[in-house]
């Protein structure tokens, strides 16, 4: 795994190997221990699965469906993505269907630097698995449990279709993978917007309820 991360295994907690933030795959056994993840899975599956159940099923039939960024035992953020049919909430927004060659990014949790690091990891994983792109039902207003549209556009994604639901605007946004060179350029562009981390002593794992993190993503500089 990248950046010294260790993949979670049955009976073991996800851990970063140092206090430098590391990206690790979310396993079914450990999904329930990721702060905020249960609420996200419940939202996008419309209450049909717990986090552990969803990751167990999707990982078995589809493959990797999420990453977390850890610093020691502190969770800094996470990403959830998968096949659209396993995230049925996406069908309730009038932005059209996700493209057949794309996976669906459901959510990013964390500050702008963490979210961009997760985007790089998600894109790398999906490109290696043969997908042509990744799409998201993003919120133009930065609503909870959606990735803010502004953040994705500033990260190189393109708008596909826009629609309104309950007085709120949503956009189907997309990142095309293209060639390996283009993916490398996208990754370098994302990483170039990230400041080097300031190392601090570890604290108990805490994440915001989601709204604060989305506001931070929406305000991220160009």
Rounded to 5°, the CA angle 38-40-43 comes to 110
Q: What per-residue confidence (pLDDT) applies to 73?
A: 86
Segment (H or E) for 190? helix 180-192
Residue 200 falls inside a structural domain? no
In the chain, the number of structural domains is 1
DSSP string, 122-176: HHHHHHHTT-SEEEEEEETT--TTS-BHHHHHHTT-EEEEEEEETTEEEEEEEEE
Residue 127 lies in a domain: yes
Longest Cα–Cα distance of the chain, Å, equals 45
pLDDT of residue 15: 55
Report yes or no on 9 lying in a domain: yes
Structure tokens at 181: 């060179």
Answer yes or no: is 222 within a domain.
Answer: no
Beta carbons of 87 and 115 less than 8 angstroms apart: no
Of 160, 152, 34, 179, the residue nearest 98 (C-alpha)? 160
159 lies in some domain: yes
Of the candidates 170, 183, 26, which has an alpha carbon nearest to the alpha carbon of residue 119?
A: 183
CATH number at residue 93: 3.40.630.30
Q: What is the pLDDT along the chain (222 residues), one digit of tens a residue?
A: 333 333 433 333 455 456 788 999 999 999 999 999 999 999 999 999 999 999 999 999 999 999 999 998 899 999 999 999 999 999 999 999 999 999 999 999 999 999 999 999 999 999 999 999 999 999 999 999 999 999 999 999 999 999 999 999 999 999 999 754 455 566 566 655 544 333 333 333 433 334 444 445 545 443
Full domain range(s) for residue 38:
2-195+205-217
89 within domain boundaries: yes
pLDDT confidence of residue 117:
94
Contacts of 188 (CB under 8 A, 6+ apart): none
pLDDT at 52: 98
Query: What pLDDT sits at residue 189?
Result: 62
Quote the pLDDT of residue 212: 47
Rg value, the chain, Cα: 16
78 domain-assigned: yes
């Amino acid at each position: 795994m990248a950046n010294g991360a260790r993949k979670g295994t049955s009976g073991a907690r996800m851990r970063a190997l140092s206090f430098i933030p590391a990206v690790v795959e979310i396993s079914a056994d450990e999904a329930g221990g990721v702060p905020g993840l249960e609420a996200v899975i419940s939202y996008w599956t419309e209450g049909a699965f717990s986090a552990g159940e969803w990751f167990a099923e999707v990982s078995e039939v589809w493959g990797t469906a999420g990453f977390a960024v850890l610093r020691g035992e502190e969770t800094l953020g996470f990403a959830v993505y998968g096949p659209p049919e396993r995230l049925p909430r996406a069908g309730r927004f009038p932005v059209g269907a996700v493209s057949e060659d794309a996976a669906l990014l459901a959510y990013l949790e964390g500050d702008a630097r963490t979210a961009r690091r997760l985007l790089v990891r998600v894109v790398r994983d999906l490109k290696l698995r043969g997908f042509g792109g990744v799409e998201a039902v993003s919120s133009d207003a930065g609503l909870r449990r959606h990735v803010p549209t502004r953040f994705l556009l500033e990260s190189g994604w393109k708008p596909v279709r826009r629609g309104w639901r309950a007085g709120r605007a949503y956009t189907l946004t997309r990142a095309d993978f293209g060639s390996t060179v283009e993916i490398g350029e996208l990754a370098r562009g994302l990483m170039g917007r990230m400041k080097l981390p300031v190392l601090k002593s570890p604290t108990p794992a805490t994440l915001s309820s989601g709204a604060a993190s989305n506001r931070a993503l929406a305000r991220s500089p160009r």
